[in-house]
Chain A
Amino acid sequence: QVQLVQSGAEVKKPGASVKVSCKASGYTFTGYYMHWVRQAPGQGLEWMGRINPNSGGTNYAQKFQGRVTMTRDTSISTAYMELSRLRSDDTAVYYCARDVYSGYDYWAYWGQGTLVTVSS
């Protein structure tokens, strides 16, 4: 069965960077895009971008261009999302999510979420 297991909660200071991991199992890692979605406390869902684990190619939401970097390590079936120059409003739960069918950007498979708290 498809499983996405994310790294644990993080506390960061403003201006720092955070790197969240998402380890995939139960399917061919390079066969499906991996997306990142975040949710601030009490707020809605926000798509951040996606990575093609096969090629490493990325697409980022305009809002995060220049601050987000998505990478992958195919040898361990793990995707990463790094967000830099953190601000207090980056406090959120960050989810990885996998395409149901490659290239169709809706998601039946989600990680458990990683809480990132930005506080001085």
Chain B
Amino acid sequence: DIQMTQSPSTLSASVGDRVTITCRASQSISSWLAWYQQKPGKAPKLLIYKASSLESGVPSRFSGSGSGTEFTLTISSLQPDDFATYYCQQYNSYSPEKTFGQGTKVEIK
């Protein structure tokens, strides 16, 4: 199975900061990667798919990049609504199992 490793596990930041979260795959997944935001008690919300495509309705301060085994999610200017936990997820069609990273919690500094 493909393992996904996110870093950091926790990130403390202030409103207006540029924030970057990294996700590494244990083998190449091309660009088959999605990013989600989750707030307590809520279902995850899709932000990015195919590594860098912004889901409709998601603010443009969110961006994704990478391919192969290394990916990043960037928030260009952190807003109060962005304090949440973020997950990457691989959906490589050659992998029968769809796996998530362990999550990155973005906290208020």
Interface residues of A (CB under 8 A from B): 35, 44-47, 59, 61-62, 95, 97, 100, 103-108, 110-113
Contact = CB atoms under 8 A, between A and B. Distances in A.
Contact of A62 (B89, B97, B103): B97
A70 to B, nearest CB: 14
Contact of A45 (B49, B55, B87, B97): B87
A-B pairs, top 5 by smallest CB distance, nearest first, are A110-B43, A106-B34, A105-B91, A47-B98, A108-B46
Contact of A113 (B43, B87, B93, B96): B43
Contacts, number: 49
Interface residues of B, number: 21
Contacts of A105: 91, 93, 98
Contacts of B91: 104-106
A110 B97 contact: no
Interface of B: 1, 34, 36, 38, 43-44, 46, 49, 55, 87, 89, 91, 93, 96-103
Greatest chain B CB density within 10 A among A46, A103, A106, A113 is at A106
Nearest to B92: A105
